[in-house]
Chain A
Amino acid sequence: MDLIIILHAGVASGTVLLFATLGELFAERSGVINLGVEGMMLIGAMSAYSVALYTGNPWLGVVIAMLAAGLISQIHAFIAITLQADQVVSGLAITFLATGISLVLGEGLSKAGAVSLLPNLSIPLLSQIPLLGAIFFTKQSVLVYIGFLLIPLAWYYIYYTRPGMHLRAVGEYPAAADALGINVFRLRYFYVFLGGILAGLSGATISLAISPGWFSELTTSGQGWIAIGLVIFAQWDPLRAAFGAYAFGALRRLIFDIQGPTTLLGLANPFYYNPYWGFILQMMPYAFTIIVLVIGSREALRKRLGAPAAIGVPYIRGERGL
């Protein structure tokens, strides 16, 4: 068990959570909660892998994955924004639908041959930094670096640009934004789409880079749900979201690695001798997600955490009390 290796792998697998979490964060900031993340990630993972397989071009796979998940997200947008239906129900339906589609279309894919994966790179100077260089900038997938770039961009966009201000206004008090001529519906559609695209990218990151291949619903193994929990944990802030994503990435890897050695800190490793304990450990991220989701569903607490005030509430112009 080597800490550097765990953290290195943690950054890589955290990138999967990062994309999905940021995507959901944008959608929720605009006032639409989308519980379909897991399904959209599966669609992304499946289409990225199969496109890369048949065309030999992984980048085309990434693009198609993003578009496919984006497309699915628009079903949710239509139901939640235009039809003003319950967003939780619609989001769950999206997950079922998208999971089904990916399982059907991905049938037989797992037996397929090797695929040209996305390249791993080291960044010349940065990789020389002691410790950090080895963790963050050495032999990581290009997608990991794209993730690094996305964090400050998302942060700057949300807090310091005009469209970012509009995004926050639409999620906080849509009637105010509407009264000033901002098109609430269009913006919400857009950010739900962005959420879909990023979930697709997240799926592609799994199947083309982090743990390449297609293993039906085990490909994502519930990480979409963890992303939704992370958005609440991050209090809708992209920097905290990034921290949470990488921390969970590292945790996943740690849980995996801790069961290997026979001794731990000089003592007999209980996880080695009691394999069942490993299951408890593996359960932890999901237990965390359930706890965070339960907490996040309490309205008073949500207010305290600074949730966008209009989250989950369809906007109807002229509706009283809005």
Chain B
Amino acid sequence: MMAKNSHNDIDNPPSFVVEMRGIVKRFPGVLANDHVDFRLHRGEIHALLGENGAGKSTLMNVLAGLYRQEVGTVLVNGQLVNFSSPGDAIQAGIGMVHQHFMLVPSQSVTENILLGLDKPRFRMELAKYDSVIAELGERFGLRVDPRAKIWQLSVGEQQRVEIIKMLYRGAEVLIMDEPTAVLAPQEIEVLFNTLHSMIANGKSIIFISHKLQEVMAIADRVTVLQRGKTTAEGLEIENITRRELAHLMVGRDVVFRVDKKPSEPGNVVLDVQNVVAENDKGLTAIQNLSLQVRAGEIFGLAGVAGNGQRELAQVITGLRKVNQGRVLLNNKVISNRSARFSIQRGLAYVPEDRTHVGTSPNLSMTDNVIMKNYRQPPIARGWAIDMTTATTFAKDLKQDYDIAIPNVDTPVRLLSGGNLQRVILAREISGAPTLMVAVQPTRGLDVGAIESVHRLLLSQREAGTAILLISEDLEELLALSDCIAVIYEGQIMGEVMDENIDIIGLMMTGMDLEEIQAGGSAKNV
């Protein structure tokens, strides 16, 4: 509930729409926010910058009423507030667009927007509200079909629905949690225009990001979090350089590039031929897709989330059936066989979901690293597993891959993201693979861990492994790949060898390469 303790002292001029003081929020084993201060001026775009895991989402979830701070106070328009649910925060004019959208996939746009409101009272009268919502969207340049079901919409459109949802509730302060993470470069442009038009309409915006160049481009002021602590509060963007911001964010100087040797691609290792496959709902997720990856190259697959990347990775690794077409690994058909069949022929897989697909969280590190070679000697001795050999094997990997774990019998659920990823990479690389499929290998890791994962991938490339790198992080793809293809609605839009970010961006919005090269690049932007 909102406590209406009027609280207007001198050091708290009401020009702040939101003021958070000394916020502390703990999760089991992590101090996510450690006495964080944050102040938002009316009518500004205020960036909240920090690495993954710095505590940005946590802080804003406190402001949005989803979490409760253990210590600290929150003031909205100079009044002390104490939200016990997101509903209270919305009442006070604070709306949050979450990193993972909070939309019900089976319901229409209008239904999602009306969810939780007390009007309409009983009968839905959808036709009437459809037009109200279309109008509201139009006013802020957020075009979307109110009758469409959420699952039919692109991620960019879903984000618009989230924004309209908050505007419809009369939000004055809009919190956007990493809004650009799911967008193609051109869509980011559109989003930035929307944000500016909201500012022109008197709203205030909190823009969460870990990307420096975006923050420099859009924000008026910036607050930086590092490991749960504020390292800079409310700095004017004009008075600071990108390098200084990077330092505030990670606490040390950052190298923006990785060194890599020129590639020497060899034979075709992975050959995906005209594959058609369905997603879990039985809808076509991959349409007639073909691609080839050669030994000793990193083939980057870019694309906005949900365009068939997950299904493609599963098809290649034998976890999903193909309806048409086939997949060859070293000239052998591996599609519609078993996962073990592909593993025995040199496949390594670094899945997106590290905690459930990549590892078995409650098993020890030893059990996790022998998961692929426990059938063969020396780990296997007939029917039995030679635990002494297995333990030695695990200890060697712990050493070689610099895995911070008390001992190899510790269950891996206790590891941090970066260490867990090193366990997976250690297991996969120790099998001397000829093909490695890596999906979002650095998502959610901190800078140090990202660097080490990148180095491991590059050294595999030099060892002659063919690597298919599926990622939503364009910078990562540009830094590592020898060749980048873009997937859109289950089809490859084109492949480029150079680092032409504009063309990649256009392909991510669904234009194919030929269309772009034919000079269509001006129209769709």
Contacts and interface: CB of A to CB of B under 8 A. Distances in A.
A250 interface: no
A175 B103 CA distance: 9
B115 A169 contact: yes
Given A160-B124, A181-B85, A318-B61, A175 B281 contact: no
A304 B117 CA distance: 30
Interface string B261-283: 00000000000000000001110
**Which residue of A165, A166, A169, A175 has the most chain B CB atoms within 10 A of its CB atom?**
A165
**Which residue of A173, A303, A306 has the most chain B CB atoms within 10 A of its CB atom?**
A173
A180 B87 contact: yes
Interface string B117-148: 10011111000000000000000000000000
B105 A309 contact: yes
**Which residue of B114, B116, B121 has the most chain A CB atoms within 10 A of its CB atom?**
B116
Contact of A179 (B86, B122, B124, B281): B86
B235 interface: no
A176 B165 CA distance: 12
B122 A304 contact: no
Contacts of B123: 160-162
Nearest to B85: A181
Interface in A133-191: 160-163, 165-166, 168-169, 172-173, 175-182
Contact of A173 (B64, B87, B96, B103): B103
B329 interface: no
B193 interface: no
Given A162-B122, A318-B61, A169 B87 contact: no
A240 interface: no
Contacts of A306: 106
A300 interface: yes
Contacts of A181: 85-88, 90, 116
Given A162-B121, A318-B66, A176 B86 contact: no
Contacts of A166: 115-116
A174 to B, nearest CB: 10
Interface residues of B, number: 33
A165 B122 contact: no
Contact of B102 (A168, A175, A309): A175
A304 B64 CA distance: 34
A161 B124 CA distance: 5
Interface in A266-322: 300, 303-304, 306, 309, 317-318
Interface residue SS majority, chain A: helix
B324 interface: no
B256 to A, nearest CB: 30
Contacts of B102: 173, 175-176, 179-180
A176 B104 CA distance: 7
B120 to A, nearest CB: 6
Given A161-B124, A163-B122, A172 B280 contact: no
Contacts of B105: 172-173, 309
B389 to A, nearest CB: 36
B282 A182 contact: no
B521 to A, nearest CB: 37
A163 B115 CA distance: 9
B86 A172 contact: no
Nearest to B125: A160
Given A169-B115, A180-B87, A303 B280 contact: yes
B116 A177 contact: yes
B107 interface: yes
Interface residues on A, range: 20 to 34
A259 to B, nearest CB: 41
Nearest to A173: B104
B111 interface: yes
Interface string B352-393: 000000000000000000000000000000000000000000
A161 B122 contact: yes
Contacts of A163: 122
Contacts of A303: 280-281
B103 A165 contact: no
Contacts of A179: 64, 66, 86, 96, 98, 102
Contact of A165 (B87, B101, B107): B107
B341 interface: no
B120 A162 contact: yes
B67 interface: yes
Contacts of B101: 176
Nearest to B90: A181
Contacts of B115: 165-166, 169, 176-177, 180, 182
A211 B103 CA distance: 47
Contacts of B124: 160-162, 165
Contacts of B165: 180
B122 A317 contact: no
Interface string B51-95: 000000000010010110000000000000000011110100000
A256 B525 CA distance: 70
Contacts of A182: 87, 115-116
B364 to A, nearest CB: 23
B104 A168 contact: yes
Contacts of B106: 168, 172, 306, 309
A317 B66 CA distance: 8
B67 A304 contact: no
Given A176-B102, A179-B66, 18 more contacts: A161-B123, A161-B124, A162-B123, A163-B122, A165-B114, A169-B115, A176-B103, A176-B115, A177-B104, A178-B86, A179-B96, A180-B116, A181-B86, A181-B116, A182-B115, A306-B106, A317-B66, A318-B67
24 contacts: A160-B124, A162-B114, A162-B120, A162-B122, A162-B123, A163-B122, A166-B115, A168-B107, A169-B104, A172-B106, A172-B107, A173-B104, A173-B105, A176-B102, A177-B115, A179-B98, A179-B102, A180-B102, A180-B165, A181-B85, A181-B88, A181-B116, A182-B115, A318-B61
Interface of A: 160-163, 165-166, 168-169, 172-173, 175-182, 300, 303-304, 306, 309, 317-318
Q: Which 4 A-B pairs have the closest CB atoms?
A: A181-B87, A180-B116, A176-B102, A179-B102
